[in-house]
Structure 1
Amino acid sequence: MTVEKVLTLGGVIIFDFEANATSVVYTEHAGGMNAYHLPHDVRRHKREAARLKALALSPEESLSTIQARLREL
């Protein structure tokens, strides 16, 4: 089994495997962990991951924002 892509978002890991293999979403939280493999659950988590990625700053923007905040201190 080869992992094609692993996306980590805090307590959520989305495993997308090679063709014809089921994707798996693994979550960790204070009460334990969950693994989701049903298509609607995987789609829901992928949709949320895409939303967060779209909202995130680029590495350059992050660096610039952090540097600006440090100058304000």
Structure 2
Amino acid sequence: MSITITQIAKLAGVSRGTVDRVIHQRGRVAPEVEKRIRDIMDENDYHPYMLGRALAVSKTPLTIGMIMIEKGNPFFN
């Protein structure tokens, strides 16, 4: 099993959010902290799990439709 973001954060001594900002290049991370996180990621051969990301992004509300035929159906009489 590969290393997780939480484990990287623990090894680097930072929060999980900081590791997330480094992975997704969102800035607001000190250069030395970013280097430390990237070194840990490289040492442990960490790569983001793309399928998991796709599943997280695709969380849209589910819509269910129903067609009801009233002609000849005793329920509607």
Normalised TM-score (structure 1) = 0.29
Larger RCO, structures 1/2 (Cα 8 Å, 6+ apart): 2
Give the structure with higher Rg (CA). 2
- Which one has a larger percent strand, Structure 1 or Structure 2? 1
Normalised TM-score (structure 2) = 0.28
